[in-house]
Structure 1
Amino acid sequence: MHPLKKLPLGLCCLLMIGSTRAQTKIQALIPKAEIVLPNVKGGFDLMAYDAGQKRLFLSAQDNHSVEVIDLKNSKPLKSLPGFNEPKWVFYHPETNTLYVATGKDGKVTAVNAATYKAIKTYQFKEKCNNLRYDQNTNELFVGVGDTFGAIGIIDLNTQKITRQIPLAGFPKQFEVTTDRIYVNEPGKGLIEVIDRKLNKVIAAWLVKSNKDNVPMAIDQAKHLLYIGCAGGSLLTMSTETGLELSRVTIPKDVDGVYLDKKSNRLYVSCGEGFLDAFQIKNGKLNLIQQFATRNGAGTGLLIPAAQLYVLAEPQTGKLPAAIRIFQPAL
């Protein structure tokens, strides 16, 4: 099968009205291409993008590899084996370094993105998951823990782990601002707020769901958090009060929520087999488009620099793993 396969336009355009769905002509995401990954087994976790060389780095957690994909020419470029359940990747363009967080061995591995050779390992006590970066301080933040929880901090200037901030439970996705860190902790049903100057938790907000708050997106300008709950809810919460402002129904097993600031939309990828696009208007979320995807396709990435949205679909049965590429509509 050729690695580049054109997809039909206008897939499953749907609008949610209450608990029913009706067709609409609104397009938020335009299907562009599919890149097949025939040698990758199982499913995926998160991705990172290299704008300079137009490379996509994809955590193939079940395959224990990081897949490097050439988005310019729409083809697989290289497979990096030997990672013990890669969960998240971060690309640092200034040093051409890829950082890979692994779940089974609690490591963050720095990889030379020119030679694809490991150059340094940062060891934590337990599972490493979400990675976030602050360009102003040149710090990499790591979600750490399985039986406990912490946010680890790596100073990329000194290349050392400088500190760990304890949490009430294990962290899933989190967001970093200049003065705060907002952390989803599904095991506790909490969002904990860390003061970066004090290096400690200053607030704990209860999420009214079934301890399933996993992905998160932030709108700093409007002081809002968007929280995806695996049971089938998308919540809007205030970062000023910690209160829930609204919730809408989404498919189950959500794993990705991305805010497109240019179009004021949210893209929500769900493992149940759907990709939803919401328009944000007057503080309300309106579902304007839905794509049927593959079961387990919860991993997405919005790439504003390339004006692309990418969805990773796992290998299932006779279907090979693949990357579906969309272009956000203006």
Structure 2
Amino acid sequence: MKKQPGLICILLLIAAISGKAQPATEIHLLTTFHLSGTGGWDYLAIQPGSDKLYVSHGTQVNIVNKTTGDSMGIIPGTIGVHGIAFVPNLNKGYTSNGRLNTLTVFDLQTARVFGQLPVGQNPDAIMYDEFSKHLIVCNGRSNSISIVDPENDKVVGTVDVGGKPEEAVTNGAGTLFVNIEDKSEIVVIDLKSQRVLHHWALTPGVAPTGLAIDNTTHRLFSACSDSRQLMVLDAGSGAIISKIPIGAGCDGVVFDKASNNIYASNGEGSITVVKQGDKDSYSKTGSIPTKKGARTIALDDTTHKLYLPTKDNNAFQVMVLGK
């Protein structure tokens, strides 16, 4: 059909309005929390069913109110801390202490430290799998996964993954997926048998860091920092479904199932926003400015706010973004 000039103008106007209405442009900086302490930072996490935000910070974990930023305590002695995990039914929390090769076990109500639990070398990302009732610890220097029973705080299994495990997610049914940063692959582990099932190549993705999963569409989202790509994989077969460009220095990715948005936090000072149209359709919808060094990210599933830690003028802070 031959388009008339007037019709073309109308179509262009509609397209421009639609472009401005993309979800990415609605997310903006809401507030900034200024935190005490010295040293670097890595992961941060929100305790389910509470107002507590836990932020790794060198030799301690800062606990702050997720809305106001007011201090709610610290967990001391977590030298080289990377991640935080929660086991609500046991009222226990855990930090992974990279320089101590231990987990710190603490009380979720009082933050009182129960003790230290030895794991592998340089424990990094940590998570609790509700299906197996076990903690999963990525040991960056010993190229392994520690499986911990929180009932008695004992390591009940160690799985060699053949490379540096950076982050892990589960499908909620007994299968674990692990980004292997130095091999540019995802290792698939059966948690019942504690056996490696597959090594899935991420080519052309290089140096996978952040990892998220959508257990409705069975899609994995692996942020590859060196190639600046978000790789989308079929969680059943390992087939690469899509690859989307992201910013430099990405170390975290989250999936918001309410909006079907994937957020990749880039150390260059941005968040790449990717929209999931359906299980096989993905598109970059925008880039949200943050601050340099804000490479990790946490999503509040209740409020849909995003939290990113960094330093600005040598002051440690957490940015809070939302609508």
Flag whether TM exceeds 0.5 (same fold): yes
Q: Helix, strand or coil: the match of 2:135?
A: strand
CA contact (8 A) 1:97 1:112 kept: yes
Q: 1:276 is matched with which residue? A: 272
CA contact (8 A) 1:45 1:299 kept: yes
Measure the CA separation in 2 of the matches of 1:197 and 1:95: 21
**Structure index of larger Rg:** 2
Residue 185 (structure 1) shift? 0.6
TM-score of the two chains, using structure 2 as the length reference: 0.86
Give 1:149's match in structure 2, choosing from 133, 143, 156. 143
Q: How does 1:72-91 map to 2 (within 5 A)?
A: 72-91=67-86
Measure the CA separation in 2 of the matches of 1:234 and 1:77: 35
Residue 42 (structure 1) shift? 4.6
Give 1:45's match in structure 2, choosing from 42, 45, 69. 42
**Distance change (3 Å), C-alpha of 1:191 and 1:38:** closer
Q: 1:14 is matched with which residue? A: none
Q: 1:68 is matched with which residue? A: 63
Measure the CA separation in 1 of the matches of 2:23 and 2:120: 45
Q: Does 1:180 find its partner at 2:213?
A: no
Q: 1:241 is matched with which residue? A: 237
TM-score of the two chains, using structure 1 as the length reference: 0.84
Q: 2:8 is matched with which residue? A: none
Q: How does 1:5-44 map to 2 (within 5 A)?
A: 24-28=20-24, 29-31=26-28, 33-44=30-41
Give the share of equivalent positions with the same residue, in percent: 22
Residue 206 (structure 1) shift? 1.2
Residue 39 (structure 1) shift? 2.6
Measure the CA separation in 2 of the matches of 1:52 and 1:218: 21
Residue 159 (structure 1) shift? 2.4
Q: Does 1:265 find its partner at 2:241?
A: no
Q: Helix, strand or coil: the match of 1:94?
A: helix
Structure 2 counterpart of 1:215, one-letter code: G
Deviations 1:160-185 (CA, angstroms, capped at 9, x unpaired): 21111111112111112222111111
**Distance change (3 Å), C-alpha of 1:82 and 1:181:** same
Measure the CA separation in 2 of the matches of 1:124 and 1:158: 14
When you count helix as a share of all residues, which structure comes out higher?
2
CA contact (8 A) 1:24 1:288 kept: no
Measure the CA separation in 2 of the matches of 1:219 and 1:52: 21
**Distance change (3 Å), C-alpha of 1:291 and 1:106:** same
Structure 1 counterpart of 2:102, one-letter code: K
Moved over 6 A (4+): none
- Which runs of 5 or more structure 1 residues have no equivalent in the other structure? 1-22
CA contact (8 A) 1:275 1:292 kept: yes
Residue 127 (structure 1) shift? 0.9
Measure the CA separation in 1 of the matches of 2:174 and 2:108: 30
Q: Does 1:102 find its partner at 2:97?
A: yes
Q: 1:303 is matched with which residue? A: 300
